[in-house]
Structure 1
Amino acid sequence: MKMAALFAALLGSQLFVIPVSERVPELKVEATCKATTADDKANGLALPQSFADCMRDETAAQQQLNTVWGAAPNSLRDSCEGEATSGGSQSYVDLLTCIQMAEWVKSPSSATRLRGASKTRNSQ
């Protein structure tokens, strides 16, 4: 107890708290990656995703979330977190995708427009 008080006194005004809602939630993605790998193998996919590749994708998504999380409205963060953790699986990729899709819906003009097949597209 005395050590904690001394530590806090030494830090003084440098001590700050980040509200939980301002941080990207800590998700347990290992179970999701294990299940994904097992499902891919069980379904006989020619190129099943490895556990390492899944974890790499999840880590990359978590890093991207660190840059966009604070700018997202609380209601969107709550909604997307619920979606990304539903059914017992947890995924930073799902969480990031949810936030990106909501941002795209809000301002679709900044997104790359997709062009479908057209008989006359290349003749213009």
Structure 2
Amino acid sequence: MKAALLSLALLGSNSSIPVADRMPELKVEALCQATTAIDKAMGLSEAQSLADCMRDETTAQQQLQAIWQGTAPSLRDRCEGEATSAGAQSYVDLLTCIQMEEIANSLPNPSGLRGASKSRSRK
């Protein structure tokens, strides 16, 4: 009974960060375990260890926390979808997606380039 009341109280309380603005909580352990197993099965001479994979994911998660609120919600949603597709969940993939989009958006738009056109070649 007390647990149910506590749950209701928590649901009704105001949080400082709206749910939509919270960074996703990804389950990266399964990805790291699978990656390590695949690397070993392939006989890679420098297979990534579970500890190294988890360290990379934790570092990416920390970097994401610093930029998450400043990232457009549509970009966050799209990149989260990519980072969690096919059952794998990765903060590294999520961070990379956001960074690549930001780099692409910062490049100058090449004006004057129109691509191929059948009507232009018939002059």
TM-score scaled by length of structure 1: 0.75
SS at match of 1:38: helix
Aligned pairs for 1:28-107 within 5 A:
28-107=27-106
Which amino acid in 2 is paired with 1:90? Q
Query: Partners in 2 of 1:81 and 1:16 — Cα distance?
Result: 22
Q: 2:86 and 2:15 mapped to 1: Cα distance?
A: 35
Matches within 5 A, 1:5-20: 16-20=15-19
Structure 1 residues not aligned, in runs of 5+: 9-14, 110-124
Partner of 1:24: 23
CA distance in 2, matches of 1:22, 1:68: 12
Structure 1 stretches (4+) deviating beyond 6 angstroms? none
- Provide the rounded CA distance (Å) in 1 between the counterparts of 2:33 and 2:16: 34
2:79 maps to amino acid: C
Amino acid of the structure 2 residue aligned with 1:69: W
SS in 2 for 1:25: coil
Structure 1 residue 19, shift from structure 2 partner: 1.1
Residue ranges of structure 2 left out of the alignment (5+ in a row): 109-123
Q: CA RMSD in A?
A: 2.0
Task: Report the number of matched residues.
Answer: 101
Equivalent-residue separation in structure 2 for 1:96 and 1:16 (angstroms) = 25
1:108 Cα deviation after fit: 3.1
